[in-house]
Structures are given as structure tokens and as C-alpha cells.
Amino acid sequence: MSAPAVTTDGRGAAASRSRRRPAKKRPTKQLLGLAGILAFLLVWELVPRVGIVEARFLPPASEVIAMLFNDFGLTAFWLAVGETMLAWFLGLLMAVVLAVVLGFIIGSSSFLRKITNSTVEFLRPIPSVALIPLAVLLFGVKIESSLMLIVYASFWQVFIQVLYGVADVDNVAMQTAKSYGLGRFARVRYVVFPTALPYLMTGVRLAAAVALILAITAELVIGSPGLGREIALAQSGGAISGMYALVLATGLIGVLINLLMRFIERKTLSWHSSIRSEVIV
């Protein structure tokens, strides 16, 4: 299914023989993408200016972007970003550690896999936001509230991928390792872990996006400090451009996290012949 696109027979051989024109780079893709962004901004600029939506509900793009650049100069903004990123990072870290430990233990025993299966299938779909009232009761507006939601939501993403990864271990490789007298720990280190690593990285990438969503949600709904709370405050305080600027900022953070995670994934898996496609879970 995922075979590479066919290069038409003969092109490779022909390339070396027939004369080439001077290579013209045509970065049409990037240009089109840039044009898309500009077009979007233009529409956004025009909609309030023409009056399709009132400017007090949707300020023009230029105003919001100016506001965003203004924010970039404010300590308060960077403090809020810092709070959000701290919750994101701690939550993600805790979720990953927990999921890796539990995933490897449960994944490598078929008894544990079978006995936990029903519980996992029941707990996993529970929306993490259902825990919001509980988090408020237990921790109030402290960062622990955010962490509780982030850890719960991100944990499952990583845990499930690790289970898949450990289950994917090649029997032949495992038997080879055994026959060469590798102990239990060595087998996990040299056989199970490398097999599961691509899955783990996929899980971490998905979890990183989920963690950001939950960090912002917690701040927005519960009011723990961070960008989400700033958005809620801006909205209720009528600072409309400020609110849109903060929304843009969360989007930029989301994009950065995606890029970072893809970069880390590529770096860690560069040895891997085929970066595996995601499992549908």
C-alpha cells in the first residue's frame, strides 16, 4: 500500500544520457503556501473592514498581529507562556515516564495484557475534562490541576503505542537473542526497546499535542495560570484584539511543538530503515 510512487521506467537511465537544461528550481509549493497564508490574512483583514463582521467582534488581521508583536515585548506575556509550557512539559514528562514503565511491564507479559485489557479499554475513552471538577476540588487553581488533566490525557496516547510496539517484537529476533544467552534485561535493552522505539516516538508526538490542548483547557476553564487564563481574562475584559493575539500565540506554540516533535522523531529514528506509519488505535 505504501510503496513509493513509480518512477516511470527509463527516466533514471535517460537522465544520465540526455542533455540537461540548467536546473531551474521551481519552489512553487512554498510559494503557493505563502500565497495561501497571505490570502487568508487578506480575507481576515477585509471581513471586518468591509463590515461583514463588526470589528469589535473580529478585529482586522493587521490589528491583531500588531497586538501580538506588542505582546512579544511584555514580560507578563512571556510569564504566561512560561507557565503554560511548564505545565505542558512536566505533564508530558510524567505521562511518558509512567506510560513507558507500565507499557513495557504490561506489554511483555501476555497474562498482564489480557487481564488489563478490559480496564484499559474502559478507562481510555473517558474524556480527561471529566476530571476537571475533581481537579478543582483537590488542587484549586494550582498547576497540579493542569498536571492532573495533562497526565491523564497524554498517558493513554503513549501507553497504547508502547503496548503495540512491545507486541510487535519479532519472534525470531527474540529467539535468536535467547539462544545467544542474552538475559532478560539485555533482551529488553537490545531487542524490545529498539522495536518499540518508533511506536513510542509516535505516542510522544501525539501526546505532546494532546498535552498542549489540556494545558490550555485547564487554564481556560479552571483558571490555573497560563495563556488559557489570559485568553479568558481578555475575553471577559473586552480586550478583543488581545484575545485574538493570544489565540494566534497558542496556534504558533502548537505549530512549534509539532515541528519540534517531528524533528526529534526523525533524529531518534534516523537509524530505522522505514519510519513506520502510525497505527490506528
Partner 1 sequence: MKILKGFAYGLALPVILVLIWWASTLGTTNFFVPTPATLAEAFAETWFGERIVSDVLPSIGRLLIGVVAAIVIGIAAGLLIGSVKWLRDFTEPVLEFFRAIPPPVLIPVLMLLMGITDSMKVVVIISGCIWPVLLNTIEGVRAIDSVLSDSAHTYGIGGWARVRYLVLPSAGPQIMAGVRQCLSIGLILMVISEMFASSSGLGFTIVQFQRSFAIPEMWSGIVVLGLIGVAMSFIFQWTERRILRWYHGLREVENAA
Partner 2 sequence: MQPETTPVSTGRTLPEGQAMLSVRGVKKVYHTDGGDIEAVRNLTFDLKAGELACLVGPSGSGKTTLLKCISGLLAPTEGEVLLDGARVTGPPKKMAVVFQEYGRSLFPWMRVRENVELPLKNAGMGKAERDKLVDEALEAVGLDHVPQSYPWQLSGGMQQRVAIARAVAYQPEVLLMDEPFAAVDAQTRADLEDLIRTVWKKLGVTVLFVTHDIDESVYLGQRVIILSSSPTVIQEDLEIDLPDERDQLNTRALPRFTELRHHVYEQIQRAKQGHRPAAATQAGSAS
Residues forming the site for partner 1 (CB under 8 A)? 1-3, 5-6, 28-29, 32-37, 39-40, 53, 57-58, 114-119, 121-122, 124-134, 136-138, 209, 212-213, 215-217, 220-221, 228, 231-232, 235, 240, 243-244, 246-247, 250-255, 257-258, 278, 280-281
Contacts of 70 (CB under 8 A, 6+ apart): 245
Q: Copy the grid coordinates of residue 149.
A: 488533566
Q: Give yes or no for residue 5 binding partner 2 (CB under 8 A).
A: no
Between residue 204 and residue 263, which ones bind partner 2 under the rule CB under 8 A? Answer: none
Between residue 24 and residue 43, which ones bind partner 2 under the rule CB under 8 A? Answer: 24-26
Q: In the complex, what is the shortest distance from the CB of residue 187 to partner 1, in angstroms, rounded to a whole number? A: 21
**Pick from partner 1, partner 2, none: which does 17 bind, CB < 5 to 8 A by kind?**
partner 2
Contacts of 62 (CB under 8 A, 6+ apart): 45
Residue 22 or 181 with smaller CB distance to partner 2: 22
Helix, strand, coil fractions of the chain, as percent rounded to 5: 75, 0, 25
Sign of CA dihedral 151, 154, 157, 162: negative
Interatomic CA distance for residues 162 and 219, integer angstroms: 29
Could you count the other beta carbons within 10 Å of the beta carbon of residue 68?
A: 19
Interatomic CA distance for residues 227 and 236, integer angstroms: 14
**Pick from partner 1, partner 2, none: which does 14 bind, CB < 5 to 8 A by kind?**
partner 2
Contacts of 105 (CB under 8 A, 6+ apart): 112
Task: Say if CB 91 and CB 175 are below 8 A apart.
Answer: no
Q: In the complex, what is the shortest distance from the CB of residue 280 to partner 2, in angstroms, rounded to a whole number? A: 15
**Pick from partner 2, partner 1, none: which does 24 bind, CB < 5 to 8 A by kind?**
partner 2
In the Cβ-directed half-sphere of 115, how many Cα atoms lie within 13 Å?
A: 7
**Pick from partner 1, partner 2, none: which does 76 bind, CB < 5 to 8 A by kind?**
none
Residue 16 or 171 with smaller CB distance to partner 1: 171
Residue 113 or 182 with smaller CB distance to partner 1: 113
Choices 18-26, 165-173, 185-193, 237-245 (CB under 8 A): range interacting with partner 2 = 18-26
Q: Give yes or no for residue 19 binding partner 2 (CB under 8 A).
A: yes
